[in-house]
Structure 1
Amino acid sequence: MTTLSETAVRTKIGIRGVGRTFTVRGEPFTALADIDLDVREGEFLTLVGPSGCGKSTLLDLIAGLAAPSSGEILIDGAPVTGPGLDRGVVFQQYALFPWRSARANVEFGLEAKGVPRRERAGRARHYLDLVGLAGFEDRYPHELSGGMRQRVAIARSLAFDPDVLLMDEPFAALDAQTRESLQGELLDVWRKTGKTIVFITHSIDEAVYLGQRVAVMTSRPGRIKEVVEVSFDSREGDLRADPAFGAYRHHVWSLLRAEVAAAQEQERAS
């Protein structure tokens, strides 16, 4: 199990005074303002906030899919100027190619990198096995359940071995049982690979269960309200039954309550 004391010596992602403003119907629209946040190497950080607070916008900026209007984002001390193979992204929608098998979907990014065919196949099998899909390599997306498709999407992001995995509500569309199962499997993948993970979720329970720290965002324009350290005596067994889990959940909700009310008021006024 990776611990915060082991990862605190190095910052993997540095977010420095980041803001993001759009033009909507000719008027400026500020999604993010003055975001300051460090994500430690090898850390699993979860990000929660009310609807419309800019969580996905922030993830897009880290991914290099958009540029900040102010401030900067650093990976290993170097400014992010666009997408890169050091970052893998998993979205809520699986975005798999329906005409490709699970293995061929995982191989797609490796083809673009020019990885030889035999190495591609071996790497795809390795990561499909890592996410619990050994024996399903030749199945097509329509032959897989929603949870299995999301496993393929995770394997595809892991296959080109990014340092950072960015996940935007990847389990939101799944049923409760599948969601809990994949949460546990994702933690296993994190422990085995040592990746730095930034995971967006609307679920406080999910944020506390997965995250070593939970970053709580304000209503729009999104800022970091507080970063909550999550530490259990042991992560064995059912964490949700641990009294500490309820205490962390209550604390995060106490931070979010006023922000959710403010976001709802913004929606009514728009």
Structure 2
Amino acid sequence: MTAKVSFDNVGKRFHARGRTVTAIDDVTLDVRTGEFLVIVGPSGCGKSTLLDLLGGLTTPTSGRILVDGQPVRGPGLDRGVVFQQYALLPWRTAQGNVEFGLEAKGVPRRDRVERARDQLELVGLGGFADRYPHELSGGMKQRVAIARSLAFDPEVLLMDEPFAALDAQTRDGLQDELLRIWERTGKTIVFITHGIEEAVYLGQRVAVMTSRPGRIKEVIEVPLTARSATEDLRSDPAFTRYRHEIWSLLRDEVSRAQRQELTRDRQEASVA
């Protein structure tokens, strides 16, 4: 299977408080066309930075990122982004929020109305097009955010912990909904999460990152088939085995990240 996205020796450094911080270093990773890839790692390892770079929201300090063989030079309609915060416009309905980006891009009114309606149907909100954000639950707001990103028909969907703020029951339901959307659309999805169980449930492959500076420690194949059609996948012995394998890889990185954080706190306290 060909690579849709390629990270080629990517590094990113930031300058803060008079010092240089290396967020990620020497990241090389391919994302296959139509793949659901999940990235996990300890807090502060650069997961979101990696997604920002792929989204074109910032530029790498070293290396390059390719989509369909072309360097990423900024945001583009080939990549849709869904964040943890819904960022919906409170004065617009669900339909209006999905239409907003299309409107800004000059899509004719009839086309954007039809496209927004189709995407709301896809995410299961066909009957809520005229509702305002304050009339929607957290899970419904995130569905609107997903529909808004899909309205552009991006080839790659970037998702930065989109379900982290939701309760467990809503999160489980949206995981199933996302798998259904992925299976139906064939989009390439790059999904960031802290949750190991979520990573195994969603990802065809799971890329495990090290503590900062973030590198790719290992990529685990998770060949669980028919995820959305399996009644209780999480109790499957294979699911438990993959979860344990990923946790074993992460355990040392989490401990290292905690030690790094403690050291930074002590250094900042001594300077103060």
- Structure 1 residue 46 corresponds to structure 2 residue 38: yes
Q: Counterpart in 2 of 1:72?
A: 64
Letter paired with 1:108: F
2:248 to 228, 246, 254: 254
* CA shift for structure 1 position 53: 0.1
Deviation track 1:54-80 (CA, whole Å, cap 9, x = no partner) reads 000000000000000000000000000
Deviation track 1:191-231 (CA, whole Å, cap 9, x = no partner) reads 11110000000000000000000000000000000000001
Distance of aligned partners of 1:135 and 1:145 in 2 relative to their CA distance in 1, 3 Å threshold: same
Instruction: Tell me, in whole angstroms, the C-alpha distance in 2 between the residues paired with 1:160 and 1:199.
Output: 18
> Quick check: 2:11–2:24 contact (8 Å CA) kept in 1?
yes
Q: Counterpart in 2 of 1:4?
A: none
Q: Counterpart in 2 of 1:157?
A: 149
Q: Counterpart in 1 of 2:188?
A: 196
2:171 to 179, 185, 189: 179
* CA shift for structure 1 position 232: 2.1
Q: Counterpart in 2 of 1:222?
A: 214
Instruction: Tell me, in whole angstroms, the C-alpha distance in 2 between the residues paired with 1:138 and 1:234.
Output: 34
Distance of aligned partners of 1:183 and 1:149 in 2 relative to their CA distance in 1, 3 Å threshold: same
- Structure 1 residue 20 corresponds to structure 2 residue 15: no
Instruction: Tell me, in whole angstroms, the C-alpha distance in 2 between the residues paired with 1:167 and 1:218.
Output: 20
Q: Counterpart in 1 of 2:127?
A: 135
2:237 to 243, 249, 253: 243
Moved over 6 A (4+): none
Deviation track 1:85-140 (CA, whole Å, cap 9, x = no partner) reads 00000000000000000000000111122111111111111000100101100000
Letter paired with 1:148: M
Q: For residue 99 of structure 1, give the secondary structure of its aligned residue in structure 2.
A: coil
Q: For residue 163 of structure 2, give the secondary structure of its aligned residue in structure 1.
A: coil
Q: For residue 135 of structure 1, give the secondary structure of its aligned residue in structure 2.
A: helix
The answer for unaligned runs of 5 or more in structure 1 is 1-7
Q: Counterpart in 2 of 1:63?
A: 55
Identity, in percent, stands at 72
Instruction: Tell me, in whole angstroms, the C-alpha distance in 2 between the residues paired with 1:191 and 1:34.
Output: 32
> Quick check: 2:11–2:23 contact (8 Å CA) kept in 1?
yes
Letter paired with 1:86: D
Letter paired with 2:178: L
Instruction: Tell me, in whole angstroms, the C-alpha distance in 2 between the residues paired with 1:96 and 1:248.
Output: 36
Q: Counterpart in 2 of 1:264?
A: 258
Instruction: Tell me, in whole angstroms, the C-alpha distance in 1 between the residues paired with 2:201 and 2:64.
Output: 30
Instruction: Tell me, in whole angstroms, the C-alpha distance in 1 between the residues paired with 2:58 and 2:49.
Output: 8
- Structure 1 residue 103 corresponds to structure 2 residue 95: yes
Instruction: Tell me, in whole angstroms, the C-alpha distance in 2 between the residues paired with 1:207 and 1:232.
Output: 12
TM-score by length of 2: 0.95
Q: Please give the root-mean-square deviation of Cα atoms over the aligned residues, in Å.
A: 0.7
* CA shift for structure 1 position 234: 4.4
The answer for unaligned runs of 5 or more in structure 2 is 265-272
Q: For residue 87 of structure 2, give the secondary structure of its aligned residue in structure 1.
A: coil
Q: Counterpart in 1 of 2:77?
A: 85
> Quick check: 2:204–2:224 contact (8 Å CA) kept in 1?
no
Corresponding residue pairs, total: 262
Instruction: Tell me, in whole angstroms, the C-alpha distance in 1 between the residues paired with 2:105 and 2:175.
Output: 30
Letter paired with 1:72: R
Q: Counterpart in 2 of 1:3?
A: none
